[in-house]
Amino acid sequence: MKHRIVYQGIPGAFSHIAALGHFGADNTFSGLPTFHEIFARIENRQADYGVIPLENSLAGSIGENYDLLYKNDVSVIDEYYQPIRHHVLISKSPHSDKTIGIQNIQRIYSHPKALEQCIKFFKNHDYIAPQAYNDTAEAAEYVASEQRTDIAAIASKEAAELYGLDILVRDVQDNINNWTRFFIITSVHPEPDILVHDTVYKCSIIFTLPHIPGSLYDIIGIFANAHLNLSKIESRPIHGKAFEYVFYIDVEFHSHDYALIHKLIRLCSEMTNEIKVLGYYPKAHIKNNF
């Protein structure tokens, strides 16, 4: 059965590439302008799954999506690691036979997070102005439409193929070991009764705490005392409440600890103002295939 899958951006964006990598091409994929619209489609059941980036190994967390996970009624059912390789893409002008070199480029368009991942490149080419754009693939589409020799985009090789661009410089990210972690979200709230034996899982939780000394320390201690690893801790400001925060954690556990996780979450619920379990899902592994 084909699934309806939504992502932010247009074909050739890294979210689209991740969606294809996770689900396979035999599905229906729709690109949306904003992350907010992804969550709205999922909550309204106008799509089966959403693919959202959560953090990048170079540029860090994407705060907007942590906020949307807190505010919206969705579940996380899986995670996916997408390798990110940024290339400088150019369009040759139909009015010129001259070969375009990097010295001809005056401005490069890309998503702000992509530009953040290419700081060394811009330091080494300080005559080039980085220009923020909605999306890496949209930047590639724009450069293709302009047919100019003085602008370029930073985007994927898939975007180059889709929009008929040439790759001028390959791998301009600061580090070749560049990955983005994606969440797969849905509107249903599955709770697995049987987990795959001898498999490492993650449980993602969002909560708020009372303003008393040691409240976060006590929550972390619940999992530390059970010898469970917290692989991620993130705090985000609560909009409308000055200097109050919502906390996000990922807890790693083995399949045989599933009952223990439920017990620990019940303990946490007694110590928090509010708590939401986003989901349980197998821990994804990075495969270095560069």
Q: How far apart are CA 2 and CA 12, in angstroms?
A: 21
Beta bridge partners of 245: 237
The angle, 0 to 180 degrees and rounded to 10, between the axes of the packed helices 258-269 and 215-225 is 160
- Is residue 180 annotated as part of the catalytic site, yes or no? yes
- Is residue 122 annotated as part of the catalytic site, yes or no? no
| Residues ≥6 apart with Cβ < 8 Å to 285 | 81
The one-character DSSP state at 62 is -
Q: Hey, what long-range contacts does 138-143 have (CB within 8 A, 24 or more apart)? A: 138/9, 138/10, 138/13, 139/109, 139/110, 139/111, 140/12, 140/89, 140/165, 141/10, 141/12, 142/109, 143/89, 143/90, 143/91, 143/109
- Active-site hit among 182, 183, 223, 247: 182
Q: What are the E-state strand segments in 59-106? A: 60-61, 75-83, 87-90
Q: Where in the sequence numbering do the catalytic residues fall?
A: 180, 182
